[in-house]
Amino acid sequence: MNIEQLREDLLFAPKNGYTKLTEQQRAEMNAYCKRYAAFMDECKTEREATTWAVAEAEKHGFVAHIPGKALKPGDKIYKNNRDKSIILAVIGSASLNEGANICAAHVDSPRMDLKPNPLYEDAELAFFKTHYYGGIKKYQWPTVPLAIHGVVCKKDGSRVTVNIGEAEEDPIFVVTDLLIHLSADQMKKPLAEGIVGEQLNVLLGSEPLEGEGADLVKLNVMKLLHEKYGIIEEDFLSAELTIVPAGKCREVGLDRSLLGAYGHDDRVCAYAEMEPLFQMGIPTHTAVCVLADKEEIGSVGISGMKSQAFDTFMQDLCDATGASLNRCFENSFCLSADVSNAFDPNFAETCDRRNNSQLNYGIAICKYTGARGKSGASDAAAEAMYHVRSTLDKAGVTWQIATMGKVDQGGGGTVAAYMANRNIVTVDAGVPVLCMHAPMEIVSKLDCYMTMLACKAIYEA
């Protein structure tokens, strides 16, 4: 018996993606990651990603969808959902009754949102009160450089865009932490309680205005905001201002094989979906790219994946091409493109190594997410997994298997379940991430590139 041959024939032995990467692919990968990093520098919120997607789509011949207008194969359209999420489509040559090929990612990320009445002064320092958005480890957010991003709908009816902390000459902001010298009590607390939600207050200033009375530091901050943006304190009620880590997407490591940035989850998959769609000719099946909001808080709300905004758009496409929405959904496929947890040898005990994604092993395919017995997962069928596996193999994409950590260690969800609820066959897959949901997340360039190739292959399947 030839044991070596038998081993090769029968056993699954994934290899590091670099063992298969050609020189041409390496060049493409590096160019792709430069473009991705530039996207990340401009887009730290769902609004910014949506604005970016609209502008870039229009450069590539996409037009805003007009309900009722007839569509033909090759037409490129998008629906901007209230500046918070976007759906893009390229009409295929086959009827929508035969289904669409959908890639769905999200463009919101965990962060700290301002409370509706955020500005206050304490001990002659001015602060913003925040309420964190999505799952964060609160102790990670003090003493890192922060920026303010968002919009304010002002009393006069106009809307102003705010961005402070990204330009070199801008000030940054910070949440304070206690000095180690006085931390005897804090250091005895569990990590989850070392910094609590009501301590995530953002330091804004310390200089009082000249004059009499209370809150002269706060008044100075409000005066500066008024000078720059024309806003008054009451306007915070109709604002979405959010505190995110300041700074750019950077290469990580001496070999520069990794990228560090805020919010790879899930803009790394959002970008991977967009590029191949922008370059597309006339696909067989209609290709649909979804960039959803609110995934980090349960895909709720008008811009989340549970919203009927998606159904309305797809109904419009079906109406414009004489197809049935039910048939379309029944025959569609959705790649729920979202990140997975990359194996971290520093925390090996939290994962089942045989079933965990690892940096540089390619796009991570995840049969189920969820927690405690797969609860909350869409749990893809064997046939659905085969579709992805065979499509990626045919396209020469490096892929691997992923699960969300050890059984009963924790868990997570994606938009997959909400697509599957619509009677759309759905599989999760995406880029493995280290330090997910931290102010700086790490991905590998190779996995980013392979995820883009995977989205392209799924659109073309």
**Could you write out the three-class secondary structure of 51-85?**
HHHHHHHHHCCCEECCCCCCCCCCCEEEEEECCCE
Q: What is the distance between the alpha carbons of residues 461 and 456, in angstroms, rounded to a whole number?
A: 9
Least distance to Mn ion from the beta carbon of 263, Å? Answer: 9
Least distance to Mn ion from the beta carbon of 415, Å? Answer: 8
Least distance to Mn ion from the beta carbon of 338, Å? Answer: 4
283: three-class secondary structure by DSSP: coil
Q: How far is CA 332 from CA 64, 384, 420, 459, in A?
A: 23, 11, 10, 11
Residue, CB closest to Mn ion: 266
Least distance to Mn ion from the beta carbon of 185, Å? Answer: 32
- Closer CB to Mn ion, 48 or 266, in the complex: 266
Least distance to Mn ion from the beta carbon of 266, Å? Answer: 4
Binding-site ranges for Mn ion (CB under 5 A)? 265-266, 338
Output the CA torsion sign for 228, 294, 128, 240.
positive
- Closer CB to Mn ion, 437 or 445, in the complex: 437
- Closer CB to Mn ion, 14 or 135, in the complex: 135
- Closer CB to Mn ion, 249 or 404, in the complex: 404
- Closer CB to Mn ion, 293 or 338, in the complex: 338
- Single-letter amino acid code for the residue at 263: G
Q: What is the distance between the alpha carbons of residues 400 and 354, in angstroms, rounded to a whole number?
A: 11
Least distance to Mn ion from the beta carbon of 299, Å? Answer: 10
- Closer CB to Mn ion, 118 or 439, in the complex: 439
Output the CA torsion sign for 44, 46, 47, 48.
positive
Least distance to Mn ion from the beta carbon of 107, Å? Answer: 10
- Closer CB to Mn ion, 121 or 441, in the complex: 441
Q: What is the distance between the alpha carbons of residues 262 and 22, in angstroms, rounded to a whole number?
A: 30
Q: What is the distance between the alpha carbons of residues 191 and 181, in angstroms, rounded to a whole number?
A: 18
Tokens of 372: 């405690």
